[in-house]
Every structure is written in C-alpha cells, then in structure tokens.
A = this chain, B = another copy of it.
Amino acid sequence: MGLNPDDKKTRSNALTHCHAPDAVKRDYRGENCPPQRIFCVRICFAQRLRGIFGGMQKSFELLVQDRRIKARHGRLLTAHGAIETPVGTQGSVKAVSPRELCELNAQIILGNTYHLFVRPGIDVIKHFGGLHKFMNWDGPILTDSGGYQIFSLAKLRKITEDGVHFQNHVDGTPAFISPEIAMEIQSALGSDIAMVLDECPPWPCEHEYAARSLEMTTRWAKRCKQAAKSEIRNPKSETNAQLSTLDHQLLFSIVQGATFEDLRREAAEAVVAIGFDGYAIGGVSVGEPEEEMIKAVESSEPILPVNKPRYAMGLGTPPQLLEMIARGMDMFDCVLPTRLARNGTAFTSTGTLNLKNAEFTMDRRPIEEGCACSSCSGFARGYIRHLIKAEEILGLRLITIHNLHFYLDLMRQARDKIDSGTFDEFRRGFVSNYRTRDSEPAI
C-alpha cells in the first residue's frame, strides 16, 4: 500500500497530540498543541440491528471469516443495539444532527470523556440521565477513557502509578483521573462500550520506556476491570441511564507496546489473560510511518481471541481502513471525514477533492457521480464551492454528510465483499485507484 500525502498529514497531525516519554513525572508537549475544539463525539459507522437479537446479550458474533486473509464480518451486541463490523469510522460528528446520523445508518458514536468531563461536566450529564438522553441519541455509544486527551490537551500533567493529575485546557481547573475514576465517569455517562485508562507512548519511543509504560497500562487495565465490576455491584451514580445500561456496558482493553513486536505480543497476552469484551490496538496513528502502524497491528492481532471485536484506534484514511480490515480489525475511529470537510475536502473512490479549488467553480457535477448521499443528490460541486468560499455553514454540512456517507458505504462494501469472498480483490482495486490531490489542505 502506497504512503500517500493524506497519510502523512494524518500522522503529522497525530504527532502533535502524542505525549513524551516520562512515565513518572513529566511535562507533556502541550504547549505545542493549540487547544483543539474537537467535539465530544466521534462516530463509528455500523448497522444497528436493534431488536433482531431480542435480549441485551453481551456478545460478539463472527458471521463470516475470509478464507484467505484475516478480514471478517461480525456483529457486536450492545445495550443500545447491534453493530455490524467492520465498522468504518470517522471523526467528530461536528455539525451533524442525530437525525442525520440516523439517516446515514451511522449507529454507534464515540464520546470523548475528557471533553465531556471538562464541559459541561459529568454532573450535568448525570442530571440529564446519561449521555444518550443528553444528546438525544438512542443508539450505541463508545466512550474513550479520557486519557488520550488529557495527555494531548490538558496542562500541567503529572502521571503516577495511581493516575494522572492535570489542569484542563479550558479554564485550568485541576483534576485527577485514575483507572477507577475513568470507570466511574464512563459508568455515569452510560456508554455502551467503555475503554480502559491507558498510557499511549509517543513515536518514536525507546524500548525501555515502552516496556515500563506497558506494564503500568496492564496494571491500570486490571484496576479498570475490577472497578467496573465494583460499579455494577455498587453503582456510585443513580441516573436512570446508568441503572439501565450498566449491566450491559462492555469494557474494551487497549494493547500498547509502541513499535516493538515483542512488547505488542506481551501487551496483547497480558490483557487477553485479564479478559475483556473487546481489544483495541492503541498507540497507532501517533506519527509513526505507515509500515510501523501495520506492523504494530500485525504483531498484536494473532494473540487476540477470534471471538472478540478488535478496534484499531484513531484510524484512518479509506485505504488504511481496508488494509486494517485485511489484517483482522473490526472497528475504527477517525476524525478525517468531518475534519477534512471543514476544510472543503471531500472523499471519493478515486481520492480526495479540495472543493475550494477554482477548477470547481463551474462544475455542475455532484461531488461523486453515482453517490447516493443527500448532498450528491441535490448539490453541484460549483454550489458547494461557493458556500465554502463564502464560509457558509451549509457548505461544510454538505461535505460532512457526503464524507460520512462515503466512509459508511466503504464499510458496507467491505462487509459485502467479505461475505462474497471477494474482499481482497476489492481492497487491492480500491487502494490502487485511490489518489490524494496535491491541492489537499493540511489537516
């Protein structure tokens, strides 16, 4: 798979968010990270099949396993419905309403715990009965632990075995998060899938640092599982959302280990031994070359149980998603579709288009011929270009909807091709046709 400029930008962007190697006490490179306004919600594409399975079982079902490669089509049940995997993913659901997400069949979203913790605050969300009710979304929600944003956004971080002390990036209020608190918060949010608190080593990273970090992450994972059990037995929050979903909150652990194959294997073995509902590959898309990203996934994947979902965090471009699916990954999340839309960049099956370019001024075609999204059904490239140039919100809305549809459709195609045994040909064809225009803006 070629390394295209899109990938470089993804990595470059991610690099500014990663954190420096000092597991005991350190100042992260926060000063180089302008406060991002990534919203609290990111989205995973999926087809929710609520009701088909009757009760609210905690289970992952492997529907189709490709015979030649590791690509697989599965189904994950959550308290708010089932998710069909691979679930192609994208970025924050900026500018998009729950109704539009529903119409896009994008039925699991990702809530950023850190952002919600800082603003409006967990007490507010508890008051409203949990995140589903607060934001009027009754589909599945995955919450991260908040750790990644603490490391990348907050100020004056101090990391200890116990947890992380920090000051939030909005008003500097000091706070502390531990594995136990991360579980308590996600329990109060009432998400369907919670993530353990981990430490994501930066790239590049020394073996010794990565090994020490990994050991702490494993200890934190154990504490998270223990805390989650305790929350079920003796919930600290009494919101309706919590009471109704807590029994069904799935807990995913995260495999770290930087770019070292032995550490990746060790990390995977350690978390599998503890036992979780799903396993994420973390510490990818943090600035490393794409080959390293693929190697990290390839090192971890064989250790992971077949009957649990695998989630490659923070990925990726359309070709990257297909490459990861080919390597046995089921879930992804990525900000590209929404973030690039805000710069006027649209995805197509042959690459990205920067609709700000003058070449589109008189272009009567939709963003992509044959695309079934509502933007392509009604609006020409020339009109969308006008809206973007005039800084009209409708312009970025139209591209966002298209980009979300594109990612969703790519995942739907991937599932279909897995089912029909032609995924590998599909992947090769797609990747070889996909080009990134030179004009694409930095993200």
Contacts and interface: CB of A to CB of B under 8 A. Distances in A.
A136 to B, nearest CB: 4
B136 A379 contact: yes
A394 B97 contact: yes
Interface stretch (A127-135, A174-182, A282-290): A127-135
A119 B390 contact: yes
A99 B383 contact: no
A391 interface: yes
B97 A128 contact: no
A128 to B, nearest CB: 6
A361 interface: yes
A426 interface: no
Contact of A392 (B39, B374, B385): B39
Interface string A110-121: 000001000110
A378 B134 CA distance: 10
Interface in A34-73: 37, 39-40
A362 interface: yes
Interface in A337-382: 361-362, 364, 374, 378-380, 382
Interface string A374-406: 100011101101100111111011100000000
Given A98-B378, A361-B124, A394-B97, A383 B37 contact: no
A326 B149 CA distance: 57
A3 interface: no
Contact of A391 (B37, B115, B135): B37
B394 A128 contact: no
Nearest to A129: B364
Contact of A380 (B128, B392, B396): B128
Interface in A119-153: 119-120, 124, 127-128, 134-136
A406 B97 CA distance: 20
Contacts of A225: none
B393 A95 contact: yes
A442 interface: no
Contacts of A415: none
Contacts of A135: 383
| Assembly stoichiometry (copies) | 2
Interface in A238-284: none
Contact of A94 (B120, B361, B378, B392): B392
B39 A96 contact: no
Nearest to A398: B97
A44 B16 CA distance: 47
A128 B94 contact: no
Contacts of A380: 128, 134
A392 B119 CA distance: 12
A397 B361 contact: no
Interface string A302-332: 0000000000000000000000000000000
Contact of A374 (B94, B99, B128, B385): B99
B119 A383 contact: no
Given A99-B374, A374-B99, A124 B382 contact: yes
Q: Which of A39, A390, A398 has the most CB of B within 10 A?
A: A390
Contacts of A119: 386, 389-390
A386 B133 CA distance: 14
A343 to B, nearest CB: 15
B124 A378 contact: no
Interface string A84-117: 0000000000111111000000000000000100
Contacts of A95: 392-394, 397
Given A134-B383, A393-B396, 17 more contacts: A37-B391, A39-B390, A40-B390, A96-B394, A97-B397, A119-B386, A120-B385, A120-B386, A124-B382, A127-B364, A128-B364, A128-B382, A134-B382, A134-B386, A136-B378, A136-B379, A136-B383
Q: Which 4 A-B pairs have the closest CB atoms?
A: A95-B393, A120-B386, A136-B378, A127-B362
Interface of A: 37, 39-40, 94-99, 115, 119-120, 124, 127-128, 134-136, 361-362, 364, 374, 378-380, 382-383, 385-386, 389-394, 396-398
